[in-house]
Amino acid sequence: MSRAGRRLVVVAFLLAAGVAGWLSAGGLRALPPAASSETPGPLSVAQFYALAFADVDGTRRPLSEWQDKLLVVNFWATWCPPCRKEIPDFAAVSERYADRGVQFVGLGIDSADNIARFSRSETVPYPLLVAGTGSLPIMASLGNPSMALPFTLIVAPGGRILRRQLGPMDGKSLQTALDSMLPG
> pLDDT digits over 90-126, tens only?
999 999 999 999 999 999 999 999 999 999 999 999 9
Q: Tell me, what's the pLDDT at 6?
A: 55
Q: Residue 166 phi/psi, 5° resolution?
A: -100, 125
Selected catalytic residue, list 31, 71, 80, 129: 80
Q: Tell me, what's the pLDDT at 14?
A: 43
Q: Tell me, what's the pLDDT at 29?
A: 43
Q: Tell me, what's the pLDDT at 43?
A: 79
| Distance separating alpha carbons of residues 133 and 111, to the nearest angstrom | 8
Q: Between residues 2 and 12, which one has the greater pLDDT?
A: 2
Q: Tell me, what's the pLDDT at 2?
A: 64
Q: Is 80 a catalytic residue?
A: yes
DSSP 8-state code for residue 157? T
Selected catalytic residue, list 83, 91, 109, 129: 83
Q: In sequence order, which ranges of the chain are alpha helices (DSSP H)?
A: 3-24, 45-50, 81-97, 112-121, 136-141, 171-181
Contact of 155 with 71, CB cutoff 8 Å: yes
Q: Is 83 a catalytic residue?
A: yes
Q: Tell me, what's the pLDDT at 12?
A: 44
Q: Tell me, what's the pLDDT at 183?
A: 86
Which tens digit of pLDDT belongs to each residue from 31-89? 444 433 333 457 788 889 999 999 999 999 999 999 999 999 999 999 999 999 999 99
The answer, yes or no, to whether residue 28 has pLDDT greater than 50, is no
Q: Between residues 164 and 39, which one has the greater pLDDT?
A: 164
Cα–Cα nearest to 150, from 64, 73, 76, 85: 76
Q: Between residues 131 and 36, which one has the greater pLDDT?
A: 131
Contact of 171 with 95, CB cutoff 8 Å: no
Q: What mean pLDDT is predicted for residues 129-138? A: 91
Who's near 98: CB < 8 A, 6+ residues apart?
125
Query: Starting at the edge strand that comes first in sequence, how are the strands of the sheet with 52-55 ordered?
Result: 29-31, 161-166, 151-155, 70-76, 102-108, 128-130, 52-55, 60-62
CATH number for the region 32-181 comes to 3.40.30.10
Q: Tell me, what's the pLDDT at 4?
A: 55
Q: Domain limits of the chain?
A: 1-29, 32-181
